[in-house]
Amino acid sequence: MTLQAPKGTRDLSGAEVASFWALEKAARSVFELYQFEELRTPIFESAELFSRSLGETSDVVEKEMFTFTDRGERTFSLRPEGTAGVVRHFIENNLASKGGVQRFFYIGPMFRAERPQAGRYRQFYQIGSEYFGAADAAADAETVIMIAQILRAFGISDFTVQVNSIGDSECRPRYRDALLMYLEKRADSLSEESRRRMKTNPMRVLDSKVDGPKLSDAPIILDYLNDDCRRHHELFLQLLRDAGIPLHENPRLVRGLDYYTRSVFEFVSPHLGAQSALAAGGRYDDLVALLGGPKTPAVGFALGMDRLVSARPTGTPHNSMPTKAVVIPFMAEAVPTALRIARSLRAEGVAVAPVSVGKKLKNQLAHAVDSGANWAILIGEDELKTNSASVKNLSNREQSAVAFDDVPAHIKASGGR
């Protein structure tokens, strides 16, 4: 048996974990400013929840779900995205009956059986939000503005936001008919995949990498919007411009999932090659009702943490790291004192790795320097006799004797470094 992480997955370690953590922290603080509350839903849900919400013909449901049957013959899928679970929670707990608006965010792993490639994983991580109960364009705009703030708080300011409206259940069918007529005339020159999509979801043909570029004169949805959808879209654009969001109107942006209505958007990075989408989302006014709840307007997004972590310029400083120290007892008798000093340092916010005795001092010091420690506190026979530790500053190698009880104050007094 070879021991290997499953294809398309990887272990996150070292600096990458630190970046994930920094992103999570940035997002949490922005969500707090916008008053979104965290929701943690299960990592698996009934397979039907996803096929009903994402649509049977979406790529995700057609070919990317990890689905399994449990011993009671129930069929579950590992969640491929976060919205379905949040909407399920909203309906199951009858949250619509509270009235008003409800705002949630989530952070966690998602699973899609995609062909692995750079920036595309089978287990990847998303941060997203869902905002229920607000039908107006301000909610769409504030969602986009909030995402921009998360990106900037994390150190990414180089992005553009593609936007479009895909209408609603009144105007989209008219567009769909017009598009279908246009596509039918060209069906012979289209790929088999596109001809199949024409039957199930013609708007997705525009998404096709092979055929999309050939269809540059296809009708665009903006010409088919009804008055309400048009007004909604215009206000959405104006609010984003007012906020200085770098917009790119893309009338062909349709998004892969069936549940969107009106505003759709995608954040794109110029630095990520083929997998350039950092975040995406839109309005989905029909989804709650589609899943059996009362009709509730909603807007949401998800960002790809893996992508943001790779798009962040290298050298972006990490959130200030705590001061680090290592406490080294030279022999067993010094361990109780070493633990006491370690506890007093941690109580003051200094990071101290668990104390151990027995290894060579030189090795322990070398290891401490490697791990980024700023201080070493040494306790041997002489130190026990004088009740004072040898405190070594690992940056400038200066060493001084400091009374055991004064060690935390000594480190603080020198600015921690």
CA 251 to centroid of chain Cα atoms: 26
One-letter amino acid at 279 equals A
Residue nearest to ligand AMP (CB): 304
Q: Identify which of residues 251 and 256 has a Cβ nearer to ligand AMP in the complex.
A: 256
What sign does the dihedral 219-222-223-226 (CA atoms) show?
Answer: positive
Taking the complex as a whole, the smallest distance from the CB of residue 379 to ligand AMP amounts, in Å, to 48
46, 246 contact by CB (below 8 A): no
Q: Which of 233, 221, 35 is nearest to 137 (CA)?
A: 233
Closer residue to ligand AMP, CB minimum distance, 161 or 303? 303
Tell me the C-alpha distance between 131 and 74, whole Å.
31
CB of 130 vs ligand AMP, minimal distance in Å: 13
Query: Which pair of structure tokens corresponds to residue 198?
Result: 């024409």
Alpha carbons 108 and 120: distance in angstroms, whole number? 16
Which residue, 120 or 196, has its beta carbon nearer to ligand AMP?
120
| Residue with smaller CB distance to ligand AMP, 50 or 236 | 50
Output the smallest distance, CB 218 to ligand AMP, in A: 22
Identity of the residue, 277 or 335, whose beta carbon is nearer to ligand AMP in the bound complex:
277
Tell me 117's DSSP state: B
Work out how close the CB of 406 gets to ligand AMP at its nearest, in angstroms, rounded to a whole number. 50
Beta carbons of 172 and 221 less than 8 angstroms apart? yes
Q: Please state, in angstroms and rounded to a whole number, the distance separating the CA atoms of residues 177 and 43.
A: 38
**In angstroms, what is the minimal distance from the CB of 339 to ligand AMP?**
44
What residue ranges bind ligand AMP (CB under 6 A)? 81, 112, 114, 119-121, 124, 126, 277-280, 302-304, 306-307
Q: In the chain, what is the straight-line distance between the N-terminal and C-terminal CA atoms, in Å?
A: 47
Nearer of residues 52 and 112 to ligand AMP, judged by Cβ: 112
The CB-of-263 to ligand AMP minimum distance in angstroms stands at 14
Minimum gap (Å) between residue 226 Cβ and ligand AMP: 26
DSSP letters for 249-308: E-TT---S-TT-EEEEEEEE-TTSTT--EEEEEEE-TTHHHHTTS----EEEEEEEHHHH
CB of 211: closest distance to ligand AMP in angstroms? 20
Closer to ligand AMP by CB, 278 or 355: give it: 278
List Cβ neighbours of 161 (8 Å cut-off, separation of 6 or more): 144, 148, 240, 245, 246, 247, 248, 265, 266, 267, 268
Token digits for 17? 């974990």
Nearest CB to ligand AMP, comparing residues 116 and 380? 116
Is the CB of 119 or the CB of 212 nearer to ligand AMP?
119
Residue 1 CB, shortest distance to ligand AMP, in Å, is 27
Q: Which of 354, 322, 350 is nearest to 18 (CA)?
A: 322
